[in-house]
Amino acid sequence: MTQTDYAAMERPIFEAWKDAGYFQRTPGFGEHAGESYTIVIPPPNITGVLHMGHALNDTIQDACIRRARMRGFQTRWIIGTDHAGISTQTKVDKRLAEAGISRLEIGREAFIGECYKWREEYGTTIVNQIKGMGCSCDYSDEHFTLEPSYVRAVRKLFVDWYRDKLIYRGKRIVNWCPSCTTAIADDEADYVDEAGHLWYLRYPLTEPVDGLEYLVVATTRPETMLGDTGVAVNPKDERFGHLVGKTVKLPLVDREIPIFADWHVDTEFGTGCVKVTPSHDPNDWAMGEKAGLPRINIFDETAHVVEGYGKFSGMDRDEAREAVVAAFEELGLLDHVEDHDHSVMTCYRCHTKLEPWESEQWFVAVDGLKEAAARVVEDGSIQFHPARWKQVYLDWLANLKDWCISRQLWWGHRIPMYYCDECGWEDASVDEIEVCPACGAPVRQDDDVLDTWFSSQLWPFATMGWTEEGMDAPQMRTAYPTQVLSTARDIMGLWVARMVMASMYCCDNTIPFEDVIIHPTVMAADGKPMSKSRGNGVDPLRLMEDYGADGMRFGLLMQVTGAQDMKFNEAKLESSRNFANKVKNASRFVLMNLEGYEPGAPEPVTPADRWIFSRLAKVVEAVDAAYDNFEFGEITRELYGFVWNEFCDWYIEFSKARLAEGADPADRAACQRNLVFVLGQILRLLHPIMPFITEEVYGEMPKGDAAAPMLIVAPWPDAAELSRFVDEESERAIAMVCEVVGAARSTRSRYGISPKVALPVAVKVAAEADAALLLAQAHLIGQLANVEEFEVAVETSKPAESAVVLGSGLEVYIVLAGHVDFDAERARLARERDGLAKDVAKFEKKLSNPGFLAKAAPEIVEKDKAKLADLVDKLARIEAQLAELG
């Protein structure tokens, strides 16, 4: 089978949209002409490539912006990329290392130059891939988090918060990466389960108490004992109450440290006594602060033991662990060791174990920002979809501690703090400062850069000209706040909450967006996270090659439910590609039957017309409601069922006789206009999700002078206007027609009866009204199902030698007498039933065998289970046929 070159078909359409200026701020029309609808894309990293999460999220955003554009809003989808501090620096460091160069050798400025070279080379990769998806972003005004205006915005926010005492510098415990040599945010740490140990160490009492000579402490990190400044017990632990206030002599370093009580101590952990190292554990820091313990930092920035610790100095933390344990054992102070599985934090970039480490950093005092950010979610100003994420957001805010915003990197927004070493002056400044305003001596700028999330929190407004004019900037006046933010759950705190905090502060207590969509995480088919290491990742670029951008987009949204995770099913994309072909074939049928077409208003003249118009009205209403609730899976399911089953399979079938040669000219003209109208509405409904094929078909459709030049700016179907077509009676009539025709066709297929053979059919209905409706459509049933002797009644019994098919409120009897050899058919079916029963028994026995289940590969077991299910289904259908034949 020849592979379709979807890109070759899609690219010219995309370029036509872009060249026409439809991706820029549209002028708007209709009732929403003066209203703005803006989305900001979560800025992808310049190191990134399109992955399944991007593909899903970008499809959601494009569906929202395209529909808003068609509804007449002044739309714009702002695109840009993030400089991605640690990610980019790591990539460039690696590239330099491969060339035998170190950034320390070439210096800061030259290294930043190399980072910009990287951006020029790779920074547009993901943007070009987003274009390939058909995303209607405003590519004429692409932003970057290190562009001059954005840099100025970030500096301004830092200065304002610094002036308002919301930013401060201090020594605190941070998560430190010894490999990247920078602080890492708590939320960015990856947790890895590790099989470790619990070492029980003996700490001798300075003076024995009641014959007790030592305390035993349990620890997962014996190397940090070099920095211990206390031993803690729980105040309620009666075993150690008499020791509080005493001291122990810390082995190896001969340091006398106090025994004190603190509620942090878990009496069930270890012995109930814990060593306290304030500079290397956040809980110990808190206990040490309360108890007034000194803080001793035993590691340097690469996690090697600092000078002053004898043979341990210069060892890395793993070497120090082995050496400390060996020294305790040699001194007879290693009580015992237990296996202990626990979770360790690792760097999200290089996967090195993080070190809780005391260092001087810059922090945001979040207590001054949290209240406003919580209030606008609590009062509904910002709404989450699904709604359960509201509480997750509020809980994250409630537990948020002061935010470490300094990073020991070169690539990024350099902290705008300036210091004079001559007179001690220091201050923050939006503008560059070279000389001290107090004494005229040269000043130096802080060496650290800001956390990437600090800069990205300004994204919704720093991309709209806020920097210089604030809320008076033209874009801010007309397009702020934005309407929808769609993102993943893992950055809800890191990014979403911080954007709300920053916007409430910077934008006169204005929210940054009205609705937050937390889309599901795309998992592999087995429910595990997609990753290179597992080899279970799926490349969206390959999916677009195989199924087209439309097929991938529609197939992804079909899988969206309210669940937190989404198991990716590629079969849905194949189904979507087939759906796209179905739309194309149906469109081709309509276009091929427009000879002599005269434009005019649609007019539902037959029950079939009134049925499809009524169904269209209800589908538009349902799709609108689903969009309002951001239920994208529901949107695709509504459209799939209506377009494939009702329009393509039935309405086109109903139309064929009306379009045939010799048909009534007036009815033919009405049918043509109705087909064009309904197909046009379908193209509009599908366009936000399947933009390419719908635009292609729209270009071939007959259009009046007032029609939109391209579908991308054609008006969205008007639910209120279409509601006049709702016709329950016609819907019931045609629904029954479809059930009767379907029953006759399936019975013919089941028994191998030619469509040319006319069959008697009787229908039992629940009410006289249904009987009247159905009898009125007898000609349609005869035309589509080749039915003779058609009878409909409320009280009727099953004719002899007939098949029965149950429908909604009716029973359809298809008389088979004279067309089926019942004896031969019963004998054939009985043989088939017996063979299937044997196969079912064989597989049931096999799958109930513990030995087979233990030894067989999982995929073999699953294959056999699927085979058994198929056999059971076939057997049930054969038995139903036998029962039908009597």
Helix (H) or strand (E) holding 445: strand 444-445
- Long-range own/partner contacts, residues 529-535 (CB < 8 A, 24 or more apart): 530/51, 530/52, 530/568
Burial degree of 443 (CB within 10 A; 0-12, 13-18, 19+) = buried
What's the CA angle centered on 413, arms 170 and 145, to 5 degrees? Answer: 135
Query: Measured between alpha carbons, how far is residue 724 from residues 40, 604, 613, 719 in Å?
Result: 37, 11, 9, 9
d(CA 195, CA 185): 25
165 known member of a binding site: no
Burial class for 754, CB neighbours closer than 10 Å (0-12, 13-18, 19+): exposed
Distance (Å, rounded) from C-alpha 572 to C-alpha 576? Answer: 6
Can you tell me the distance from the alpha carbon of 165 to that of 697, in angstroms, rounded to the nearest whole number?
60
Question: Can you list the alpha helix ranges (DSSP code H) found in 457-569?
Answer: 459-462, 466-469, 474-479, 498-506, 540-558
Q: Map 733-802 to HEC letters.
A: HHHHHHHHHHHHHHHHHHHCCCCCCCEEEEEEECCHHHHHHHHCCHHHHHHHHCEEEEEEECCCCCCCCE
Task: Evaluate whether 89 touches 152 at the Cβ level (below 8 Å).
Answer: no
- The answer to whether 873 and 859 have CB atoms below 8 angstroms apart is no
Residue at token pair 């006594």: 273
- Rounded distance between C-alpha atoms, residue 138 and residue 341, angstroms: 50
Q: What are phi and psi of 856, to 5 degrees?
A: -70, 145
DSSP for 175-238, written as a single string: EEETTTTEEE-GGGPEEEEEEEEEEEEEEEEEEEETTEEEEEEEES-GGGGGG--EEEE-TT-T
Contacts of 166 by beta carbon, 8 Å cutoff, 6+ apart: 364, 365, 368, 369
What is the Cα Rg of the chain in Å? 36
CA dist 241 and 257 (Å) reads 17
H or E, element range at 255 = strand 255-261
Q: Which helix (H) or strand (E) holds 167?
A: strand 167-177
The amino acid occupying position 232 is: A
Distance between CA atoms of residues 160 and 170, nearest Å: 18
For residues 453 and 498, what is the distance between their CA atoms, to the nearest angstrom? 8
Residue 678 amino acid letter: V
Q: Give the long-range contacts of residues 331-336, CB within 8 A, separation 24 or more.
A: 331/251, 332/202, 333/201, 333/202, 333/203, 333/204, 333/214, 333/251, 334/199, 334/200, 334/201, 334/202, 335/200, 335/201, 335/202, 335/216, 336/200
At residue 808, φ and ψ (nearest 5 deg) are -80, 100
Query: What is the spatial distance between Cα 22 and Cα 13, in angstroms, rounded to a whole number?
Result: 12
Angle, in degrees to the nearest 10, between helices 691-700 and 6-19: 70
Element (H, E) at 15: helix 6-19
Q: Is 359 helix (H, G, I), strand (E, B) or coil?
A: strand
Contact partners, residue 276, CB within 8 Å, separation at least 6: 228, 229, 230, 231, 232, 284, 287, 288, 291, 293
Rounded CA-CA distance 386/405 in Å is 30
Known binding residues for ATP are: 532
Known binding residues are: 532
